[in-house]
Amino acid sequence: MNKPTVHDIAKEAGVSLATVDRVLNARPGVRKQTIARVQEAVARLGYVRDTSAANLARQRQYRFVFVLPEGPSQFVDTLTAALREATAAQIADRLLVKIVTIPAHDPHGIVRVLQGLNPARLDGVAIMAPETPQVRDAVARLRNAGLAVVALVSDLPNAPRDYFIGINSIAAGRTAGLLMGRFARAGGEVLVATNSLRSRDSLERRLGFDDVIAADFPGLAVLPTVESFDDPRRMEAVVAEVLRSRPRLVGIYSMGTGNTRILDALRESGRAGELVSIAHELTPATRRGLESGAVTAVITQNVGHLIRSALRVLRTLCDRTPIFEAQERIRIEIVVRENLP
């Protein structure tokens, strides 16, 4: 027996094609019991809609917008590159993707951009932005307008997003902590640096990191977090100072952006290679760091998977078909010099 079609359903349920169609596409004008009869037939025959035929028939276009932070960030650059690559490939069947950028640290600017999106001309949105009440409202507005909304990289747990595509920050921090503890067995002090602890991701990474160090590696003392507050030079200066003044320093954990400057300071100090240094996200800077030995390990997420997963999830949300969870779980990857992709 081959794949059942709408015709088979019609025969099985003893109704006409038109009725089957009305039921399948949730169009009005069908009695409850008739709906039930059709659905039973669907279940009995194991009918599944042929998505490509359906999309062909309805001339489906998936119009998605990716909302990404603007400004210099190697991570966002690789993300954008992956997105362009994915939409250029044939994966991009019936796909129309636009990228809009938002000012990274201006909640009102972000909301202005989100409100500028016209839901009538869109089917889905992927958002990478810090969660604020205004962002939550904007997300709610888009969802209420019938759009599929996914959070990308950074979750919006209290906003009514449909899905989150990214990694758990606490687990990522714990992984960094475990590696730091294992690599810096001898014990000593560890520097933790980030742009700002006001970002939930940084905070959660720090929580996870501290948790593991405290529980399993009593020989390590984690120093208070150094924050650069969007000033790369400040970051470089502070890190250089710590490197100079702390002879017992054995490790550096960079939780967020600004890896380039931290690595510069490390190189300047002459202690690269001797210290354990762990950073997040595989970018040109961290890649060079791994190759040169200045970076010991990078905790990262596969940007290509991230993007493709977002596209797939947005699509299945639009189609209202079930999401294949196993495929969409983004892994926390550990990259060292020898398994650089």
Residues that bind a copy of itself (CB under 8 A): 48, 50-53, 55-56, 82, 85, 89-91, 93, 171-172, 174-175, 177-179, 182-183, 185-186, 208, 212, 296, 299, 302, 304, 308, 321-322, 324, 326-327, 329, 331-339, 341
Nearer to DNA, 9 or 128 (CB): 9
From a copy of itself, DNA, none, which one binds at residue 28 (CB under 5 to 8 Å depending on kind)? DNA
**Residue 151 or 335 with smaller CB distance to a copy of itself:** 335
Residue 1 CA to residue 291 CA, distance in Å, equals: 57
Residue 308 binds which entry of a copy of itself, DNA, none, with Cβ cut-offs from 5 to 8 Å by kind? Answer: a copy of itself
On whether the CB atoms of residues 257 and 73 are closer than 8 A, the answer is: yes
Could you tell me if 167 and 309 are in contact, meaning their C-beta atoms sit under 8 angstroms apart?
no
Collect all residues with Cβ–Cβ distance below 8 Å to 67 and sequence separation of at least 6: 100, 101, 102, 113, 114, 125, 126, 127, 128, 129
Nearer to DNA, 16 or 327 (CB): 16
Amino acid at 340: L
Instruction: Find, among 98, 94, 95, 7, the residue nearest to 47 by Cα.
Output: 7
Query: Which residues of the shown chain bind DNA in the complex (CB under 7 A)?
Result: 2-3, 5-7, 14-19, 21-22, 24-25, 28-31, 33-35, 47, 49-50, 53-54, 56-59
- For DNA, give the closer residue by CB, 35 or 92: 35
Nearest distance in Å: CB 160, a copy of itself: 25
Q: At what angle do helices 17-24 and 6-13 cross, to 10 degrees?
A: 110
With 0-12 / 13-18 / 19 or more C-beta atoms within 10 angstroms meaning exposed / middle / buried, residue 169 is: buried
34 contact choice in DNA, a copy of itself, none (CB below 5 to 8 Å, kind-dependent): DNA
Q: How far is the CB of 12 from DNA (least distance, A)?
A: 12
Distance CA 66, CA 97 (A): 7
334 by DSSP, 3-state: which? strand
Q: Which is nearer to DNA, 34 or 74 (CB)?
A: 34
Q: How far is the CB of 339 from a copy of itself (least distance, A)?
A: 4
Interacting partner of 33 out of DNA, a copy of itself, none (Cβ under 5 to 8 A depending on kind) = DNA
Q: How far is the CB of 112 from a copy of itself (least distance, A)?
A: 32
- Under a CB-based contact definition with an 8 Å cutoff, are residues 209 and 222 in contact? yes
The distance of closest approach from Cβ of residue 17 to a copy of itself in the complex, given in angstroms and rounded to an integer, is: 18
User: Closest CB to DNA among 5 and 101?
Assistant: 5
Query: Residue written as tokens 């999106």?
Result: 117
Give every CB contact of residue 30 below 8 A, 6+ residues apart in sequence. 19, 22, 23, 38
Closest to 18 measured CA to CA, from 42, 33, 32, 38: 38
From a copy of itself, DNA, none, interface partner of 62 (C-beta below 5 to 8 A by class): none
CB of 317 to a copy of itself, least distance (A): 14
* Token code pair at residue 204: 């959660």
Q: Looking at beta carbons only, is 33 or 339 nearer to DNA?
A: 33
| Smallest distance from a copy of itself to CB 220, Å | 14
